[in-house]
Amino acid sequence: MPELPEMENYRRLLHERVVGRPITDVQVEREKTINLPVPDFASHLRGNSFTAIERRGKHLLFHLQSGRVLLLHLMLGGFLYWGTEEDKLDRTAQVALSTGARILYFHGLRLGYLHLLTREEADERMSHLGPEPLDPSFTADAFSRLLKQKRSALKSAWVDQHLLAGIGNCYADEICFRARILPLRRIPTLSPEDIGRLYEAMRTLLPEAIRYGGYMETPLFREDRLTGGYNERCLVYARGNEPCPRCGHPITQDVWSSRKVFYCPHCQH
């Protein structure tokens, strides 16, 4: 599932390409992906234009000239493609928004959604989300206070969007590896030094993952050389049984609360 770095990468790349462009056509292949009857959805979007793109956690908000927003959550398996009719992917798009010759394709939205909402409705939909990990006001002390509210394993806390917005399976494991702490550690056993290392790992790793385009492998557009660049930089995620890049011990792949978890049992404690 796309996480904060992947969605921020999409936001930055799409901002350069779609903001200011009028929507000339709307195609919906799966009505359950949207929240309105197709004619109503399409008629509001045609002739409208994008004024800004915002990210909140794992969501993107496409602001429209009308004052409404398109709220996108890709969920598991969702991804975007920006291209022409000629270079589109050989995959069904649940929604396609044309801006002249270029089309924004929304793929894999079997679990995800693209809803047309007022700003107030979008804010209400996301009101359950915790703080943004990279918000300048989210200090180490704030992180420590937040984490100490939980008594679960670290892995469960990281992926809880009510606690902290945007981190999922991949970056939960990568942050714990960088901090040399097992993702299955119970939070009450963490020392202040442990929590400090986790905070520093989070604040350095997430910007790095954004800078390299996140871990999703499908390019956003044909000439895209950025998206997915962090995939080869992941040190433990999806590296089960490979040697740990720090100590050489085999990386463990485990399951915790129905989620995959990757770690090195030798140098994470």
CB-CB contact of 44 with 116 (8 Å): yes
Q: How far is CA 262 from CA 150, 177, 184, 190, 258, in A?
A: 21, 9, 10, 19, 13
Point out the catalytic residue in the list 11, 12, 21, 259. 259
- Reply yes or no on whether 259 is catalytic: yes
- Reply yes or no on whether 58 is catalytic: yes
| Beta-sheet strand order (sheet of 93-99) | 25-28, 93-99, 102-107, 79-83
- Reply yes or no on whether 174 is catalytic: no
Rounded CA separation 94/90 (Å): 13
Residue type, 136: P
Residue type, 246: R
Rounded CA separation 152/145 (Å): 15
CB-CB contact of 161 with 169 (8 Å): no
Point out the catalytic residue in the list 55, 56, 58, 178. 58
Q: How far apart are the first and last CA of the chain?
A: 27
Supply 214's token pair.
């996140």
List the beta bridge partners of residue 82: 104
CB-CB contact of 137 with 125 (8 Å): no
- Reply yes or no on whether 3 is catalytic: yes
Point out the catalytic residue in the list 3, 6, 8, 174. 3
Would you mind telling me the total number of residues written for the chain in this entry?
A: 269
Point out the catalytic residue in the list 2, 5, 183, 219. 2
3-class secondary-structure state, position 198: helix
Catalytic site positions: 2-3, 58, 259
